[in-house]
Amino acid sequence: MAGEWFESVAVAQRRAEKRLPKSVYGALIAGAEKGVTLKDNTSAFDLLGLAPHMANLPRERNMATTVLGQDVSMPVLISPTGVQAVDPYGEVAVARAAANRGVAMGLSSFASKSIEEVAAVNDKVFFQIYWSGDKDTLVQRLERAKAAGAKGIIVTLDWSFSNGRDWGSPWIPEKLDLKTMAKLAPEVLARPGWLWSFVKSGHLPDLTTPNMAPVGTKPPTFFGAYYEWMQSDLPTWEDLAWLRSQWEGPFMVKGVCRVDDAKRVVDCGATALSVSNHGGNNLDSTPAPIRSLPGIVAAVGSDIEVLLDGGIRRGSDVVKAVALGAKAVMIGRAYLWGLAANGQAGVENVLDVLRGGIDATMLGLGKASLAELTPEDVLAPDGFFRTLGA
């Protein structure tokens, strides 16, 4: 079964669950506290209806667009996700898959592969940073990303360091030495396909974060990087404006839920924002991004590119978000499951599934281009939308 084409993101998820050790799969599922937001992120899309036509449908559909200055083949970007022991080639495999499908990629500063390796195989990479370390450190990371060829910056600000998950957080080791290998052995040996992929690649899962240290120095472990972030000052709006002034070119702020925050992001000079709640990993009970999107688009959509991430599992979700005003969406778990199911080919498979779904939805709605999509294409139940901070 591993290595075979799959027809939906749901199938990719089931394969990921079968293939990955329990704690690795658990780290992908995640979701803060009770998972109220995690659930709403996906189920909110199910509440939105579509109104198809059945004749005069367009033979050609064009879903190409431009996001953060990059021409992309569809309105879907790879959202940055932190160090994952999902696949031996990790973010490099994701970057290759995205490049093969004309898709741009956000690379996490907590990634397990360096920005240099990733930008070498995909020329549409945006480097994601947290407000971690002091200003000199942040500038050094921006300069490194620029030198490596990053086309833009994504600053992620939504994180409240919450812990305590009702589903039980998986144990993630500090590093993979013999002692931790022995502890993990039962669940790893139950997943021989995953283990074999690392054996074939010639190395064990790497739990370090090479982008968190200057080139040529020893990278911190995931927990070392996380500790630095936890100890750092919490950024002010002035800090954000300062950070923006340190980077020439596209600059996205990820994690916006409120209209008032969206306006401050515009004031800081950002070129894009993503309506997001960190995939349900920040404050539980935050509404799904798709509920907050129209209010934010109405307030700042003519000043800044508005993206959305959270809960995208099929092409029709993408079309609903674009119809409600998103320039594009970003995906997280969907591509991680593809990566787990079948490496680079699995990520390509997920992107193809989404492309096929976008195309079918545009056909059904009778739309030849993304620009023709409007909020009238989406049927929302009364009280569906949430406008926070207006």
Binding residues for ligand FMN, rule: CB under 6 A, are 27-28, 30, 41, 79-82, 108, 110, 128, 156, 254, 276, 278-279, 281, 309-312, 331-334
Measure Cα distances from 147 to 152, 295, 366 in Å: 12, 37, 44
Matching residue, tokens 């207006």: 390
Cβ atoms of 221 and 227 closer than 8 Å? no
Half-sphere exposure of 355 (CA within 13 A, CB side): 18
Indicate the angle between helix axes 22-29 and 333-365, nearest 10 degrees.
50
- Supply the minimum distance, in Å, between the C-beta of residue 353 and ligand FMN: 14
Instruction: Return the number of the residue (109 or 361) whose C-beta is nearest ligand FMN.
Output: 109
Q: In the structure encoding, which two tokens stand for residue 358, read together?
A: 């976008």
**Per-residue b/e over 314-341, b at no fewer than 16 CB within 10 Å?**
bbbbbbbbbbbbbbbbbbbbbbbbbbbb
Residues 237/241/247/250 CA torsion (nearest 10 deg)? 80
- Supply the minimum distance, in Å, between the C-beta of residue 270 and ligand FMN: 15
- Decide: helix, strand or coil at residue 25: helix
- Supply the minimum distance, in Å, between the C-beta of residue 154 and ligand FMN: 7
Cβ atoms of 245 and 238 closer than 8 Å? no
Instruction: Return the number of the residue (318 or 323) whose C-beta is nearest ligand FMN.
Output: 318
CA 143 to chain centre: 23
- Supply the minimum distance, in Å, between the C-beta of residue 86 and ligand FMN: 9
- Supply the minimum distance, in Å, between the C-beta of residue 132 and ligand FMN: 11
Instruction: Return the number of the residue (257 or 331) whose C-beta is nearest ligand FMN.
Output: 331
Instruction: Return the number of the residue (309 or 348) whose C-beta is nearest ligand FMN.
Output: 309
Instruction: Return the number of the residue (121 or 334) whose C-beta is nearest ligand FMN.
Output: 334
Residue 370 DSSP label: G
Instruction: Return the number of the residue (41 or 342) whose C-beta is nearest ligand FMN.
Output: 41
Measure Cα distances from 245 to 129, 153, 241, 346 in Å: 15, 12, 6, 38
263/256 Cα distance (integer angstroms) = 10
Active site annotation includes 278: yes
Alpha helix locations (H) across the chain? 9-19, 22-29, 36-47, 90-100, 115-119, 135-148, 178-189, 192-201, 222-231, 237-245, 259-267, 289-300, 315-323, 333-365
Catalytic residue among 113, 263, 278, 314: 278
- Supply the minimum distance, in Å, between the C-beta of residue 191 and ligand FMN: 18
Closest residue (Cβ) to ligand FMN? Answer: 332
List of residues 6+ apart from 146 with CB closer than 8 A = 247
List of residues 6+ apart from 47 with CB closer than 8 A = 380, 381, 384
- Supply the minimum distance, in Å, between the C-beta of residue 193 and ligand FMN: 20
Amino acid at 199: V
Instruction: Return the number of the residue (61 or 361) whose C-beta is nearest ligand FMN.
Output: 361
Catalytic residue annotation: 278
